[in-house]
Structure 1
């Protein structure tokens, strides 16, 4: 999903403070009295807790949560989409799995062109062209083989129960049914499930069922991942995509059957005395989160505090620089050279940080030249807001942690359905214009390629090497901004994870505009931000994040008050 004026004017507070990084000590492991789950819906949180109560692992809980979200939050995520999974054991050994969707083999750089002209984002989303081969089930199966403790079939029970016995439409889902009717009701099945005979969305509180999805889940519980990528389900996906009423696409059964979730080396770096870990490309999330943090390391954010416009100005400036690099360099590293090591190089980020002036905005910025970079052109893609994403976190009694972001991209994805679930529109995360100044864009469309993602599931470890925070967010390109803001609030401002997530959002992509969350104290800081040189300050909604932190060996949950989210212990 989407995305007092108190000026601290002390010269001391504005002076750069260089904080040397402390290398984490080898951890001794953690054991907790109870496990915990945080997700965007209480029914999904309960599904995860059910696994923990039965002796399941954090991975079991995370998978059950993802499956339940397919039922109760269909506008945001599910088995028709993909995700990124980051996990670590009690000793802080991090693994990551890439379940990002792939383009059909027939896809090409001008995939989103019609009659020689590029489609708008709104034109490209509905129907088959935007659908990538879903990755969540392959991701879940790989993760379960390694870290699951319960039987695979047991993970599906809560989702099957919800789909067959019914769940109630929340006020939040009702709002999505209103504004996203074009996608939610794109197929007769979606129309029949969520809308009345008068064509209006069913009211909040209405109990609905999804027997087709229950059947699909029962089949997957029996057959495993092969039941998704072959046989009747694969035929249903291909049939929906190739015969779509709008933008039909030449996806094949081979495209579906050949999908593989991929192991990626985790991306880790040091922020102050903390170790921050997450996904490597095709995620642009962690490189961007880490750059935002590292570029701020020389400033005393603790002294400035969360009520200082200068603090938010510094965060915005760091975002501008990080997002400029994101736009130019990030893509699927299986297809293009991505200078990952250079993008998180401490010396390079120090040089970028040196551009930040505490007293004046940079305005429009350009990408830097990290070590190992090539001169890749930046193409202006249709990076419209992602309304369809969900994040969830699980930590079990053994101290194993999972942070997992799952998505169908826009609200209700492409609008197409197969087997009772919505299919994603992730391919619109590619740059629709494949070239700029005659050079190929890193994130251009190619057959079998995974589109760049903003998802940033993140684990943070303290100086003792033990888990401090597991966090992630939904909200398209604002995801790295939400995660970085929340990490700053926990580590620099001493807030709880819950209070950190609730902090207002500032979002500053590489363009000249700065976006502040409407109805928050940041809106009141607009005059101060303008006085610091931010000429174009606009308001926008906030985000949707979830987290679990560890304080003194105790788990504490955080769930975004902007959502229906709940964090709970078993």
Structure 2
């Protein structure tokens, strides 16, 4: 544990003291590492100290990385409800230290069986305004998180399923302190008062946003978790909980949705084969479709492989230029080809073919920007029209004492999802990740709405291995479609520039999504603006609140220890023992 993280936790004690069951172990587990101390051998990095401590509690009991990830995710759904939760979905990569194998778990939400391509079209055939589509039941897909966690636990869990729910249940019943970030997001959201249950939960009796430090209890969430702890995920997808989810979605009379009890009963999480490619002396693995993140991050890295990034200063103008150009090419392919491969033909093999990537890399000019890039393959699908992709979501990374690892990104999509609550949790608005327009230029859009389909995501949980298949790093981030750039930046910073995990996640952000190059305001990369403009970039200086949480195996000590990184732009920590 770094002194910075321990200092951060200590600064929160006024808020954490309200939850005695977790506050004391959190501080006790945060002794700074002194010279001569052994580095941590098990670790959790997550977006909230209470959530990370819940995961560590499972590891102390001999739990696996999946056990810890489940406990962490359930607490995140309580203390960070704007970002993730059981009313949403997730993608999880698991590394098995014995088999040196990576498996991908898909818990992405699905469109209702009665949905069609016109879900987000008005009567005149034009797309709805984005926020008109988001708020209410129309945007809610069948949640996938619990089915996915149950599947991963069946494969890799060690502790009993009910034990993993206890930290979140205790916190929900005893209450947790509203954090500064949660307060700010409540205060800044114009839609939270639209539906009574959500308005009452996030505001005081006078209708004001809950102040920082407010002890917030959620007995309804505790009761839901107790039911799932006792009855498995079926207690969520069948019976009274499912009935109440459907009622909340369909009774949003100003914007009702189509989700049905049948949709919930039929939801299935899926094991998928990860996408993996060699990158220099490592192997990088990501999630396959329906997320675009794994393919896009791998493309960015492979497009940059011919360039000597290690010779460049981290986040220097030349480094930013090269990464931005590679990102243009990756996003050009992403926007046309990536979607749910169970419904449309996604040419993953062709997009990751070494010869194809070498030909695309040759388009990168170190001395000038190419401007807007074009896709590199022929397609029967139209380019997806641009639409908003609000930054929310949460990422966690875990390594257990046996060396197994989890990289998991979870989301309810927009902050506070559809602004609907059922049984103590927020419902997602993930269906707005579909293209609102089903066709363009006479061709169907790959990411159009179809019944039962999973909307395209940008979530990019990533695992890095060495060439012998040993764990090197787990990383990922929230941030809408900028997730891809944030994750690629952290991977490059750790591998090419050999920054520590903490330095890699804290490095200023720079992102290109095949348009302007975005530089993180208030950071040193703003100094690169003039040099990038001279190379032909259009440059925007904006806030970019990533939430990178990573764990890296130390190269010394026989590779036995770990170091963690928690994004200073949010409220997370990396805890290890």
* 1:482 and 2:486 correspond: yes
**Per-residue deviation, residues 483-504 of structure 1 (Å, max 9, x unmatched):** 1100100111010111001011
Q: Which runs of 5+ in 2 are unaligned?
A: 1-37
1:521 lines up with 2:524 in the alignment: yes
For residues 405-424 of structure 1, the aligned pairs below 5 Å read: 405-424=409-428
**1:530 equivalent in structure 2:** 533
The residue that corresponds to 2:391 in the other structure is: 386
Structure 1 position 454 matched with structure 2 position 463: no
Q: Residue 244 of structure 1 aligns to a residue in which SS?
A: coil
Partners of 2:532 and 2:539 within 8 A in 1: no
Q: 1:32 to 1:290 in 2, by over 3 A?
A: same
Q: Give yes or no for contact 1:469–1:549 (8 Å, CA) kept in 2.
A: yes
Paired with 2:430 and 2:122, the residues of 1 have a C-alpha distance of 19
CA contact (8 A) 1:120 1:382 kept: no
Computed over aligned residues only, the root mean square deviation of the Cα atoms, in angstroms, reads 1.3
Given that 2:395 and 2:478 are in contact with CA atoms closer than 8 Å, whether structure 1 keeps it comes out as yes
Instruction: Report whether the alignment pairs 1:293 with 2:298.
Output: no
Alignment equivalent of 2:133, drawn from 114, 124, 135: 124
* Residues 543-569 of structure 1, C-alpha deviations (whole Å, 9 max, x = no match): 111000001321111110001000001
Correspondence 1:554 to 2:561: yes
Residue matched to 2:44: 37
Whole-Å separation in 2 of the counterparts to 1:351 and 1:36: 40
1:278 aligns with 2:300: no
Note the C-alpha offset of 1:110.
1.2
Q: How does 1:131-150 map to 2 (within 5 A)?
A: 131-150=140-159
Structure-2 separation of matches of 1:231 and 1:69: 25
Identify the match of residue 89 of structure 1 among 96, 113, 118. 96
Q: Could you tell me which of 233, 237, 241 is aligned with 1:225?
A: 233
Residues 327-362 of structure 1: CA distance to partner in whole angstroms, max 9, x if unpaired? 000000000000001111111111111111001001
Flag the 1:329–1:213 CA change in 2: closer, same or farther, 3 A. same
Note if contact 1:504-1:542 (Cα within 8 Å) is conserved in structure 2.
no
Query: Following TM superposition, by how much is the alpha carbon of 1:365 offset from its aligned partner in structure 2, in angstroms?
Result: 1.3
Q: Secondary structure at the match of 1:118?
A: coil
Aligned to 2:271: 263
Q: Is the 2:101–2:469 contact (alpha carbons within 8 Å) kept by the matching residues of 1?
A: no
**Partner Cα distance (2:416, 2:367) in 1:** 43
Deviations 1:467-515 (A, max 9, x none): 111011000101110111001001110101110010111111122x111
Distance, in Å, in 2 between the alignment partners of 1:221 and 1:187 is 28
Match of 2:245 in 1: 237
Alpha carbons 1:84, 1:279 under 8 Å: kept: yes
- Deviation (angstroms), 1:181: 4.0
Q: Which residue of 2 aligns with 1:66?
A: 73
Structure 2 residue aligned with 1:473:
477
Where do residues 410-449 of structure 1 align in structure 2 (5 Å cutoff)? Answer: 410-449=414-453
Q: Distance in 2 between matches of 1:567 and 1:307?
A: 24
Aligned residues: 534
Asked if structure 2 preserves the Cα contact closer than 8 Å seen for 1:32 and 1:398, the reply is no
CA distance in 2, matches of 1:554, 1:569: 10
- For residues 316 and 66 of structure 2, what CA distance do their matches in structure 1 show? 40
* Native 8 Å contact 2:41 2:560 kept in 1: no
Match of 1:492 in 2: 496
Other structure's SS at 1:233 match: helix
- Which residue in the other structure is 2:161 paired with? 152
TM-score w.r.t. the length of structure 1 is: 0.92
Q: Secondary structure at the match of 2:369?
A: coil
| In structure 2, C-alpha distance between the alignment counterparts of 1:114 and 1:375, rounded to whole Å | 26
Give the conservation status (yes or no) of the 8 Å contact 1:61–1:394. Answer: yes
CA shift for structure 1 position 540: 3.0
CA distance in 1, matches of 2:302, 2:436: 31
- 2:316–2:525: 8 Å Cα contact kept in structure 1? no
The residue number in structure 2 matching 1:246 is 254
Structure 1 portions without partners, runs of 5+:
1-30
Shift of 1:463: 3.2
**Equivalent residue for 2:401?**
397
Question: Could you tell me how far 1:123 is from its partner in structure 2?
Answer: 1.1
Q: CA offsets per residue over residues 348-400 of structure 1, 9 Å max, x none?
A: 1111111110010011111111xxx633111215233232x000011100110
How big is each residue's C-alpha offset from its partner over 1:186-207, in whole Å with a ceiling of 9 and x where there is no partner? 3322222221233221111111
Describe the superposition over 1:408-444 as per-residue Cα deviations: whole angstroms up to 9, x where unpaired: 0001100111110000000000001110111110000
* 1:317 aligned onto 2:325: yes
Does 2:185 align with 1:176? yes
Identify the residue that residue 194 of structure 1 maps to in structure 2. 202
